[in-house]
Each structure stands twice: as structure tokens, then as C-alpha cells.
Amino acid sequence: MKKLVIAIFSVLMSVLSSASYAQEDRPYIRQMIGEYGECQNVAITETQGNVMLSGRNGWAASGCPQQLVTVLQKLHDGNRNIKDVQLAENGQWLVLYDNNGMEWSSIPQSLEHKVREFNANREVITSVTFNAGGDWIVVTTDHYSASEQWILEWLQEGNRKYGKLWTACVTHKAIAAVYEEGFRYYGEVPASLKDALATTHLDVYRLKIAGNSWFFADEMGRYQYLFGNSVGTNVSSEYSWNWSDFQDGNYNEYGDYDEGYGYGYGDDFEMSGSGTCFALSSDGYLATCNHVVDGARRIQIRGVNGDFNTAYKAKVVAYDAKNDVAIVKIDDARFKSLGEIPYSVNLNAAEIGESVFVLGYPLRAVMGDEIKLTNGVVSATTGFQGDPTTYQISATVQAGNSGGPLFDEDGNVIGIVSSRLTSYESASYAVKTKYLSQLMKNRNVLENLPSDNLIKGKKLNEQVRAVKKFVYIIETEN
């Protein structure tokens, strides 16, 4: 512990001599966040400049080390998916891109070894944070690690209390960690950040702190931030860690999850919309329409393994508003697996006259929760007013069918049911699956769509019996 405090003290003295430098370039970063309209992540410092990341590989930087800027430009030119940037007060930096791609300069050796270890084990790193004193935390999709045993034990205590660790930030002043159901703090965490985390409706997967400034965002690039001015941002040379003065907090206002309760969010969930979704992977990735989840602050899924009394929490991980496609993931501590998916997703264009069928949950208030089947043919390879992104089909659909799968006669998913022409019951539309594939690739969500068809050649009733276990109700609260 003494070694840590000494290392931090030497860094703090350099901060005192130049603390206003990085603060002055934050207006540019704020401007660029506004121009992009989304922000996936940032690196903010008190002395070493600032970076913002937007979209797949967009970025803007000000006051940063030139080598870091050169690397960001190289990754941008190579169309790499830049995920995270970490910049410490002594100029050390790290860039995370694609699935565990790394570029860095002078990071702690123990951190480098841990990164290489996770890479060798093929674990996808989702969050890296470190400070100039050599403290670090790395989070993967399945595990996490830290530079010191006491940091690891502190993270583990939060893990036991609040579920899966989503992200963390360690600075020369504090540690903040966000879990599935809560958050924890050590040291001097801005009060404004604590308030924002306590009330946000975002699933926070990115978190950065620098002095009184902070930023957090979900995986979609929706964000909140407060980049404070120079008042109150200088670091005190009298600083020391106060390990007993930690704080916990509930992640949102809905309370901790009750293990014995049959609803994802409890009886305070006020359903404002209902649609259909279907499985893309056994670990909980689902496809639906963007308009089903657009504007939803909470989402839950019913019908998993045939159980309609239990709802599982879910979140949007990718969406395409233009083509009306979204990918949702079940994100609930109780969830285990959807099982082996019996159908494939076919990206090849269907032809006029091909037989198709639709499964979904229309008009639940009057029709109940049993899955409904309608069938017909592909009436046209273009949709309303010649829209090339959709098929026109003769299968009847109603409100609640949106987001459901459109199958061909072999049991391949060829579309996602999206709308109908209200004047004609036999004119409905489904988004072509190639736009689902494009979304998956553009947002780096899932590597492959289901490709093993176990129901080809079976009778329609046998196909329905096999696939209905993978078509679910999706409920939203706006």
C-alpha cells in the first residue's frame, strides 16, 4: 500500500503543474460529440488531452500524444472497430480494437502480461483501465482481473452483491465499478457522477473519470457526461486513499433483483408495447424490429423454454433504424441457455411464389400468449412502393407480429416481419435477412448467424413444433 501511495504522489505533483491544459481542450471534444450525435467512449485526462470515439471507427482527439493520434488514424484508415482508449496522466496509453486487438505505449508490464494471457485464452476484453501509479483492471466477457489483490477482492465483493461486473475506472484518485445490478466507489468520485448513475436508464458499459469530469455510455453510443470547468478540478497534493470510505449504490431506481420473483423487473414494470423476437444464438442474442424496442427504457422477454410466467431482462445491443432491424440480448442472472437452434438464417434472396410461414404473438390481449401461425407466399421481392429492403408476403400479420421470423418451406429464416398494409389483409412486409447480417457485422455483434437447419424436409406441423421454442414475446416499457 505504501508503494502505491508514493507512486501516486509523484504523479500528482506533475498534475499540479499543468492541470489546466487538458481542461482547455474539452470544448472541442464536446463539440465533436455533438456533431457525431453518438459517443461510444472517451479518454479524458487532466493533463494529457482527450479523445472521443464514435461509431465503428470514428474518433476525435485534442492535446494527446502524437503517437496515440497516429495509431487512431491508422486504425480508422484500416476500418478497424475502435472500442476503447485509455490515457493516463503520465502519457501512457492503450487502444482496444476489434476482438482484442491492442496498441499501447509504456503500459504497466503486469497489465501487458494479463492482456496477452486473456488473448491466448481467446477471452474478449471489454474494458481496460489503469492509472499512472501502475494500478489496473481488465474486464472480459466472462472474467476480470486487477493489479493488486485488494482491488480484486473489492471487485469480487461487488460481484457477489450486484452480479456481473460490466466496467470499471481506476484513476490516481478513485475507483468506480459498475455491475449488472449496482455500483461501488472508492476514493474521490464526483458526486454528480454518483447521482447520474443512480438515475440513468442506460446500461453502462463504458466509464471514465478525470477530476470532476466524467463520462459513461452504453454499447449503442448513448451517453451522459459532465466535463467540468477548471473550478475544483486541481488535484490536492495532500491526497491519500481512504480504503474504508467506500460507497455502494443501487444501479437504478427499480431495486435489486428478487431471485424468487417471476418477473424480470417486478410488478412495477408498466408494459407499453409488445412484439415478437426470435433466437440468433444459444447464449441469448435475439432478433426483432427496431420499432418494437425504439424508445424503450426497459425490455423483458417471455416464453424462454416455453415458460410464459417468467420474464427475463434484456437490452438492445445493436439497431438499424433505417432498415427497422434490432438485435437484443437477454441480460439476466437467471438465464442459462436457449439450447440448440434448429433453423438456419438464409441470406439468399427469395423468389416470388415461394411458400412461407410466420410465427408470432399478435393481439395478445384478445388472442392470449399461445404462439400463432399464418402462412402464404412471397407476393413480391420488393415492399411498399418498391422498397428493395423488404418482401411483400400474403401471410396475414397483426399488431404484435412485428419482429417475428418469416420462414421459407425448408425452415430457413428469410425475413423479419415488420408491417402490413392496413387496407389489404393479404399485403404484409418482412425485412430481408441480409440487413440483419449487415447490422451484425457493422456493430460487431455475433460472429455467425444460425446455419444448421435441422427441420428441412419435415412437415409444417413438425417444423413449427421444433422452432416455436425459439420464438418469444418481447415486452417494452417506454
pLDDT tens, residue by residue, 126-171:
899 999 889 999 999 889 999 999 999 999 999 998 889 999 999 9
Can you give the pTM of this predicted structure?
Answer: 0.51
Please provide the average confidence, as pLDDT, over all residues in the chain.
82
C-alpha 145/C-alpha 168 separation (Å) is 11
Of the pLDDT bands very low, low, confident and very high (cuts 50, 70, 90), residue 264 is: low
How high is the pLDDT of residue 417? Answer: 94
430's enclosing H/E stretch is: strand 428-432
Burial of 340 (0-12, 13-18, 19+ CB in 10 A): exposed
Complete DSSP assignment for 340-358 = ----EE--SPP-TT-EEEE
pLDDT: which is higher, 182 or 472: 472
Q: pLDDT of 26-57, one tens digit each? A: 788 888 888 877 788 999 998 889 999 987 67
Q: By percentage, how much of the chain surpasses pLDDT 70? A: 85
C-alpha 332/C-alpha 300 separation (Å) is 9
Q: Find out whether 395 and 355 touch, Cβ atoms under 8 Å.
A: no
Q: Find out whether 317 and 445 touch, Cβ atoms under 8 Å.
A: yes
Average pLDDT over every residue of 242-255: 37
Give one word for 363, left, alpha or beta, with left for phi > 0 and alpha for psi -120 to 50: left
Q: Find out whether 408 and 350 touch, Cβ atoms under 8 Å.
A: yes
Q: pLDDT of 83-128, one tens digit each? A: 899 999 899 999 988 877 889 998 989 999 998 898 888 888 989 9
C-alpha 96/C-alpha 88 separation (Å) is 15
The closest of 61, 40, 65 to 51, measured between CA atoms, is 61
End-to-end Cα distance, the chain: 47
φ, ψ dihedrals at 377, nearest 5° = -135, 165
Length of the chain: 478
Q: Find out whether 282 and 341 touch, Cβ atoms under 8 Å.
A: yes
Q: Find out whether 450 and 433 touch, Cβ atoms under 8 Å.
A: no
Residue 200: other Cβ atoms inside 10 A:
18
The closest of 55, 429, 449 to 286, measured between CA atoms, is 449
Burial of 70 (0-12, 13-18, 19+ CB in 10 A): exposed
**Cα-Cα-Cα-Cα dihedral sign, residues 39, 145, 114, 336:** negative
Does 450 have pLDDT greater than 70?
yes
Tell the residue number behind the cell numbers 471507427, with chain if given. 57
Q: pLDDT of 287-303, one tens digit each? A: 999 989 888 888 999 99
Average pLDDT over every residue of 221-228: 84
Does 10 have pLDDT greater than 70?
no
C-alpha 396/C-alpha 36 separation (Å) is 40
Residue 63: other Cβ atoms inside 10 A:
19
Burial of 50 (0-12, 13-18, 19+ CB in 10 A): buried
